[in-house]
């Protein structure tokens, strides 16, 4: 099989994203890793980190070749303004978004089999005048996708979310039959398409303590969650629940499921991050393309110090490659 082409966007140029891709270059890879970035930024940061680095300009018309050790293939894009490690510059916000645009377009036209994103700094993009709530929403808008699903994964655990970045007081109103069914169908479909699971087993959590305890602690389970589980189970899905969140993550339950569907952000993700922080990956399901991301932020204080941990980026890259190989799009000539 020909090497896959995987795009990486280094995210906020003043953060650890450039450091991470330079450290990643010190490893041997069997696929072609294409970094969308300013070559001068990478060269300067490599000198600061005292890491060897050679750059090869990306040519989509040439066969994909695995990167050699200490080598990066670069799709060049110039910064708008100077960049100093650890110091934000709003003038470079548009550069960050353009790297994403290049990666999205490349995935949509099969130049790339997948894209991996390093962390961006949301506030600096907003300060520059562009409303930006995050990678997930940006990718959905750019690809014309109505509904996407956030799933984080680490060794032995996958957690998907019905709701994401909402105040806790607003969550119950969003636990609707329509939303639960839509999210579950996307999760089920992408577990089949990207992970090779022909009949994925999904554990669905309740919203309330003890999954509502028969309605005594809330009716969301009775009115919304249980009817959805029954409806989707009748369609052939293997669903279990609603399970109380305080017992669903025990070995007994995790041994018989492929993914956990949590109702809100802090119901499922603290467990996953406790289990795998530094070696976890954020995956956007429901897109027409494959996108994985690190599970951490820009860490401005670590930029240029050589102390950034590549564990999450390596995991995100490994997941992107594995998903691309399970996806039929990853086997055509355009993505290889």
Indicate the domain borders of the chain.
Answer: 1-145+287-335, 147-278
pLDDT at 209: 96
Cα–Cα distance measured from residue 32 to residue 81, given in angstroms and rounded to the nearest whole number: 29
210 is in an annotated binding site: yes
Interstrand relation of 201-205 and 238-243 (parallel, antiparallel or unpaired): parallel
Write b or e for each residue in 56-89: b if 16 or more Cβ atoms lie within 10 A of its Cβ, otherwise e. eebeeeeebeebeeebbbbbebebbeebebeebb
Residue 111 has which token pair?
A: 């130049």
pLDDT at 329: 47
Largest CA distance in the chain: 64
CATH topology of domain 1-145+287-335: Isopropylmalate Dehydrogenase (3.40.718)
253 is in an annotated binding site: no
Q: Which regions in the chain score pLDDT beneath 70?
A: 328-336
Interstrand relation of 291-293 and 281-285 (parallel, antiparallel or unpaired): antiparallel
User: What would be the CATH architecture of the domain defined by 147-278?
Assistant: 3-Layer(aba) Sandwich (3.40)
122 is in an annotated binding site: no
Q: Confirm if 316 and 293 have CB atoms less than 8 A apart.
A: yes
pLDDT at 220: 96
pLDDT at 14: 97
* Selection from 36, 140, 55, 35 nearest residue 95 by Cα: 36
291 is in an annotated binding site: yes
pLDDT at 328: 54
- If residue 115 lies in a helix (H) or strand (E), which one and from where to where? strand 114-117
- Fold match between 1-145+287-335 and 147-278? yes
If you count them, how many residues does the chain have? 336
Cα–Cα distance measured from residue 152 to residue 261, given in angstroms and rounded to the nearest whole number: 11
Using DSSP's 3-state secondary structure scheme, residue 86 falls into coil
How far are the Cα atoms of 21, 190, 197, 237 from residue 323, in angstroms, in the given order? 20, 10, 11, 21
135 is in an annotated binding site: yes
Quote the pTM value: 0.91
165 is in an annotated binding site: yes
pLDDT in tens, 184-229: 999 999 999 999 999 999 999 999 999 999 999 999 999 999 999 9
Q: Confirm if 229 and 204 have CB atoms less than 8 A apart.
A: yes
């Amino acid at each position: 099989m020909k090497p896959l082409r995987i795009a990486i966007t280094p995210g906020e140029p003043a953060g650890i994203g450039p450091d991470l891709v330079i450290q990643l270059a010190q490893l041997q890879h069997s696929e072609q890793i294409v970094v969308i970035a300013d070559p001068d930024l990478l060269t300067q940061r490599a000198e600061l980190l005292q890491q060897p680095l050679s750059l090869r300009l990306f040519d989509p018309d040439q066969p994909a070749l695995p990167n050699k050790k200490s080598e990066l293939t670069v799709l060049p894009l110039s910064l708008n303004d100077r960049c100093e490690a650890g110091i934000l510059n709003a003038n470079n916000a548009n550069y960050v978004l353009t790297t994403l645009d290049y990666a999205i377009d490349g995935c949509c036209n099969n130049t790339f089999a997948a894209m991996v994103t390093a962390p961006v700094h949301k506030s600096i993009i907003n300060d520059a005048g562009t409303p930006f709530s995050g990678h997930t929403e940006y990718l959905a808008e750019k690809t014309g996708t109505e509904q996407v699903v956030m799933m984080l994964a680490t060794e032995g655990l996958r957690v998907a979310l019905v709701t994401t970045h909402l105040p806790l007081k607003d969550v119950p109103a969003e636990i609707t039959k329509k939303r639960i069914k839509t999210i579950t169908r996307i999760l089920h479909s992408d577990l089949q398409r990207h992970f090779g699971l022909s009949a994925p087993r999904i554990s669905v959590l309740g919203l309330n303590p003890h999954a509502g305890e028969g309605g005594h602690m809330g009716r969301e389970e009775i009115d919304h969650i249980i009817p959805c589980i029954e409806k989707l189970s009748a369609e052939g899905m293997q669903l279990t629940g609603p399970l109380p969140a305080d017992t669903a993550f025990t070995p007994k339950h995790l041994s018989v499921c492929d993914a956990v569907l949590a109702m809100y952000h802090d119901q499922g993700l603290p467990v996953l991050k406790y289990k795998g922080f530094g070696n976890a990956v954020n995956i956007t399901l429901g897109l027409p393309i494959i996108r994985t991301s690190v599970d951490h932020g820009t860490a401005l204080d670590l930029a240029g110090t050589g102390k950034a941990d590549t564990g999450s980026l390596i995991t995100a890259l490994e997941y992107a490659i594995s998903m691309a190989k399970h996806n039929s799009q990853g086997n055509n000539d355009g993505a290889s």
